[in-house]
């Protein structure tokens, strides 16, 4: 028979490991939360949202003094690629720089109180784990379908425009691969209008892309994303880290 004290010590160690992982993930998310980049000609800036997608495109005034109209689209693509690279780099930096000591080392902070932690054997934690098990089981059963869809999505290109048809953008997978702007309109539009039109076109492309991949938004993947999409919240729901919000099973 195992020693109850050993089991308690093991559980405490598991709590601390979960807390350390939560801190690492949170540090990565913080560093990657607000990332932007400019092109090499310094004529545009692309900012990313927390999910890594393009949030806004800003075209700087007097951009045409530095590049020609044909080069504006490639400059936007270049800035978007650089922003994505910086985001990945920032996330990795945040995760790796977070102190690794899961006990009492620097950055670990005080251990969780009994009120902060969910009892891992209480009914709510057990029910959450059971529900997650069934969702995972159903997800694994459809992995071949999801893999096929993911492969098609990664290779597929989609094109969309702003409401006025001034700008057309192309996505290759999730990456912005091309931007074209109506040159006649470009000659009379100011930089702010151009940036706003490109941003609208990109958002439309994302929306149409989401509509074209129904499997990822259907059972069980929508439920899996809800239950496990936030690693820190998942640990809390399973009773392995401080709870941030009430659990919804």
Residue at 162 is within a domain: yes
Q: Choose among 137, 174, 129, 136: nearest CA to 155.
A: 174
Residue at 16 is within a domain: yes
Q: What is the pLDDT, as a whole number, of residue 244?
A: 55
- How far apart are the C-alpha atoms of 2 and 222, rounded to whole Å? 40
Provide DSSP, 187-231.
HHS-HHHHHHHHHHHHHHHHHHHHHT-GGGGSTTHHHHHHHHSSH
Residue at 68 is within a domain: yes
- How far apart are the C-alpha atoms of 35 and 184, rounded to whole Å? 32
Q: What is the pLDDT, as a whole number, of residue 5?
A: 56
Residue at 71 is within a domain: yes
210: domain CATH number?
Answer: 3.30.1310.10
Residue at 102 is within a domain: yes
Kindly report the pTM of this predicted structure: 0.64
Total structural domains within the chain: 1
Kindly give the confidence (pLDDT) of every residue in the chain, 249 residues in length, as a single tens digit, with 9 standing for 90 and above. 555 556 556 656 666 766 677 777 777 778 778 899 999 999 999 999 988 999 999 999 999 999 999 999 999 999 999 999 999 988 888 878 766 554 444 444 444 444 444 444 567 888 888 888 888 888 778 777 767 776 776 677 889 999 999 999 999 988 999 999 999 999 999 999 999 999 999 999 999 887 655 555 566 777 877 888 777 788 788 877 666 554 444
The sign of the CA dihedral 198, 201, 207, 213 is negative
- How far apart are the C-alpha atoms of 242 and 16, rounded to whole Å? 11
Q: Are strands 157-161 and 44-48 parallel, antiparallel or unpaired?
A: unpaired
Residue at 208 is within a domain: yes
Is there a contact between 176 and 53 (Cβ–Cβ < 8 Å)?
no
Q: Which strands, in side-by-side order, build the sheet including 44-48?
A: 35-38, 44-48, 54-59
Is there a contact between 59 and 198 (Cβ–Cβ < 8 Å)?
yes
Residue at 248 is within a domain: no
Which residues are CB-neighbours of 158 under 8 A, at least 6 positions away?
170, 171, 205, 208, 209, 212
Q: Choose among 163, 196, 159: nearest CA to 180.
A: 159
Residue at 246 is within a domain: no
Task: Give the domain extent around 76.
Answer: 4-111+143-219
Q: Which residue in the block uniquely carries the two structure tokens 């028979």?
A: 1
Q: Which strands, in side-by-side order, build the sheet including 175-181?
A: 157-161, 167-172, 175-181
């Amino acid at each position: 028979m195992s020693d109850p004290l050993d089991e308690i010590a093991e559980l405490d160690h598991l709590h601390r490991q979960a807390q350390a992982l939560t801190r690492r993930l949170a540090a990565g998310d913080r560093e990657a939360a607000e990332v932007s980049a400019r092109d090499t000609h310094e004529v545009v800036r692309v900012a990313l949202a927390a999910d890594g997608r393009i949030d806004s495109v800003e075209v700087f005034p007097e951009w045409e003094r530095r590049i020609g109209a044909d080069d504006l689209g490639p400059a936007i693509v270049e800035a978007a690629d650089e922003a994505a690279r910086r985001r990945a780099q920032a996330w990795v930096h945040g995760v790796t720089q977070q102190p690794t000591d899961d006990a009492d080392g620097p950055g670990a902070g005080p251990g969780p109180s009994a009120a902060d932690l969910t009892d891992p054997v209480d009914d709510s934690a057990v029910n959450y784990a059971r529900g997650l098990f069934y969702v995972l089981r159903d997800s694994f059963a459809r992995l071949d379908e999801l893999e096929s869809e993911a492969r098609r999505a990664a290779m597929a290109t989609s094109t969309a425009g702003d409401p006025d048809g001034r700008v057309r953008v192309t996505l290759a997978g999730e990456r912005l691969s091309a931007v074209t702007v109506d040159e006649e309109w470009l000659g009379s539009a100011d930089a702010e209008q151009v940036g706003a039109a490109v941003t609208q076109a990109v958002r439309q492309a994302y929306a149409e892309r989401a509509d074209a991949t129904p499997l990822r938004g259907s059972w069980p993947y929508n439920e899996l994303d809800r239950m496990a999409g936030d690693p820190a919240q998942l640990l809390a729901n399973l009773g392995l880290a401080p709870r941030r919000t009430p659990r919804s099973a």
